[in-house]
C-alpha cells in the first residue's frame, strides 16, 4: 500500500523555468537557431534572479536544447537525436566501466544459462540450437553478425521464463552494443577465432539441452571469460 503514495517535493524555480522554455521549444514558439532573451532580460520577464535563470539554462544545455556563447547570447539548438543516454556516454569516456559491465553481464548470463537449463521447453531448446546452426552457416562464409549472437543470448534468457531477467539483460546488452558492436563483429569474423567461438556456443547449447544447470553455467562462464580476454587484443 505504501507504493500508492510518493513523496511530494516542491519544484525548484530553475525546474519551472526549464519546463517553460522546453514548452516554448516543443510548441515551436522558439525555433532552432533562434536566440532567446538574455539572462538579464529573462530574469526580469520571469520575475526571478539571474542565477536561477542561469541554472535553468545550464540544465537545458545539458539536455542539448540550448547553446550559450559568452558575449554572444543563447541559442536554440536543432532537435537532433544525437545525444546518447548519460550512462552510454560515460562508458564511451571510460573503458573501465565497459569492462565492469562485461563482468556484471557475465554473472547474469551464467545465471540465465543455469535457469534456462532447468526450465527450457523443447521449443526453446530448439530455438537455441537453431541460432547456433545459423552461426555455423554464416561461419562458413567468413563470420557471423552481432545480431546472430544476440539471438543466441536472447533465446537463452527467454528460456529462463523470467521477464525481469530479460529486461535487465536487454538493457545491459543495448549499452554493451552501443559501445563495442564494431569490435564484436570483428571478433566474430576472425578466422582464428571462429572455430573456438562456435565450439563454445555449441557447448552451452549442449549443456542446456542436457538440462544440466551447473554445466551450462560453467560453459557460459568459459565463453564470456574468453571473449573478455580476447577483445582487448583486437585493438
Partner DNA sequence: GTAATGAAATGGTCATACCAATTTAATATC
Partner DNA sequence: GATATTAAATTGGTATGACCATTTCATTAC
80 binds, among a second copy, DNA, none (CB under 5 to 8 A by kind): a second copy
By the rule CB under 8 A, 162 interacts with a second copy: yes
By the rule CB under 8 A, 32 interacts with a second copy: no
CA–CA distance from 6 to each of 11, 14, 216 (Å)? Answer: 15, 22, 42
**Nearer Cβ to DNA, position 36 or 117?**
36
Q: Tell me the closest approach of the beta carbon of residue 179 to DNA, in angstroms.
A: 22
Report the distance separating Cα 161 and Cα 226, nearest Å. Answer: 27
Report the candidate in 101, 104, 105 with the shortest Cα–Cα distance to residue 90.
Answer: 101
Q: Is 23 helix (H, G, I), strand (E, B) or coil?
A: helix
**Nearer Cβ to DNA, position 14 or 160?**
14
Q: Tell me the closest approach of the beta carbon of residue 70 to DNA, in angstroms.
A: 4
CA–CA distance from 131 to each of 45, 151, 176, 198 (Å)? Answer: 62, 7, 20, 11
Q: Tell me the closest approach of the beta carbon of residue 134 to a second copy, in angstroms.
A: 25
Establish how many alpha carbons lie within 13 A of residue 119's alpha carbon, considering only the half-sphere containing its beta carbon: 14
Residue 218 near residue 171, CB atoms below 8 Å: no
Q: Which of 45, 85, 136, 196 lies at the binding interface for a second copy (CB under 8 A)?
A: 85
Sites for a second copy among residues 169-198 (CB under 8 A): 171-172, 175, 178-179, 181-182
Which grid cell is 33?
537557431
| Chain CA centroid to CA 154, Å | 15
**Nearer Cβ to DNA, position 70 or 235?**
70
Q: Tell me the closest approach of the beta carbon of residue 140 to a second copy, in angstroms.
A: 28
Q: What angle do CA 122, 221, 101 make, to 5 degrees?
A: 110
Residues that bind a second copy (CB under 8 A): 2-3, 9, 14, 22-23, 26-27, 51, 54-55, 58-59, 62-65, 69, 79-80, 82-87, 90, 92-94, 96-97, 100-101, 103-104, 106-108, 110-112, 115, 162-165, 167-168, 171-172, 175, 178-179, 181-182
Amino acid at each position: 500500500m505504501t507504493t500508492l503514495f510518493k513523496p511530494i517535493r516542491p519544484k525548484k524555480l530553475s525546474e519551472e523555468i526549464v519546463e517553460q522554455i522546453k514548452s516554448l521549444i516543443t510548441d515551436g514558439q522558439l525555433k532552432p537557431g533562434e536566440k532567446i532573451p538574455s539572462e538579464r532580460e529573462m530574469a526580469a520577464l520571469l520575475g526571478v534572479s539571474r542565477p536561477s535563470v542561469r541554472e535553468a539554462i545550464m540544465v537545458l544545455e545539458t539536455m542539448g536544447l540550448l547553446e550559450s556563447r559568452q558575449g554572444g547570447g543563447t541559442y536554440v539548438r536543432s532537435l537532433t537525436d544525437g545525444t546518447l543516454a548519460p550512462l552510454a556516454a560515460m562508458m564511451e569516456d571510460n573503458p573501465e566501466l565497459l569492462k565492469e559491465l562485461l563482468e556484471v553481464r557475465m554473472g547474469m548470463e551464467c545465471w540465465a544459462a543455469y535457469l534456462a537449463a532447468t526450465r527450457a521447453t523443447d521449443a526453446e531448446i530448439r530455438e537455441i540450437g537453431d541460432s547456433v546452426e545459423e552461426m555455423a552457416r554464416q561461419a562458413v562464409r567468413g563470420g557471423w553478425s552481432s545480431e546472430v549472437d544476440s539471438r543466441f543470448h536472447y533465446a537463452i534468457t527467454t528460456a529462463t521464463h523470467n521477464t525481469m531477467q530479460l529486461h535487465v539483460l536487454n538493457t545491459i546488452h543495448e549499452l554493451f552494443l552501443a559501445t563495442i558492436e564494431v569490435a564484436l563483429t570483428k571478433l566474430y569474423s576472425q578466422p582464428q577465432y571462429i572455430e573456438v567461438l562456435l565450439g563454445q556456443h555449441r557447448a552451452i547449447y549442449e549443456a542446456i539441452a542436457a538440462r544440466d544447470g551447473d554445466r551450462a553455467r560453467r560453459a557460459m562462464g568459459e565463453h564470456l571469460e574468453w571473449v573478455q580476454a580476447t577483445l582487448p587484443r583486437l585493438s
